[in-house]
Amino acid sequence: MDNFQRALDSAKNSGDFDSFHKGVELIYQHFKDILGKEGLKEIKAIGEPFDPHLHEAVMQQESDEFPDGIVMDEISKGYMLNDKVIKHSKVIVSKGKK
């Protein structure tokens, strides 16, 4: 919380967007590390076979790059907490070649 406050104060006082951006990135990484130690993991999506237990297909699209049934893009990340899905990845699934 203190780091967020410092970043906000710094942005308000200096107007230096690059420093603010770097500060928020450091806070994000620190927060991600803490959650990872508690068992939070991102669900792999792009290039993986579509799995309805992990992914929510929001669209299907033809692709010369990805074969049928493979996740070709990720709209929003999904997460697991201690091997339980808490948020499915929203993905675009390949229909195969055009």
This prediction's pTM:
0.78
What band does 11 get if pLDDT is binned at 50, 70 and 90?
A: confident
- Secondary-structure breakdown of the chain: helix, strand, coil percentages, each rounded to the nearest 5: 35, 35, 30
In angstroms, how far is CA 26 from the centroid of its own chain?
16
**Domain parsing of the chain, residue ranges:** 2-37, 41-96
Which of 3.30.565.10, 1.25.40.10, 3.40.1350.10, 2.30.22.10 is the CATH number of 41-96?
Answer: 2.30.22.10
Q: What confidence tens digit (pLDDT) does each residue in 24-75 have?
A: 888 999 999 999 999 999 999 999 999 999 999 999 999 999 999 999 999 9
pLDDT value, residue 3: 78
63 token code pair: 């692709």
Taking phi over 0 as left and psi of -120 to 50 as alpha, with beta for the rest, 82 belongs to left
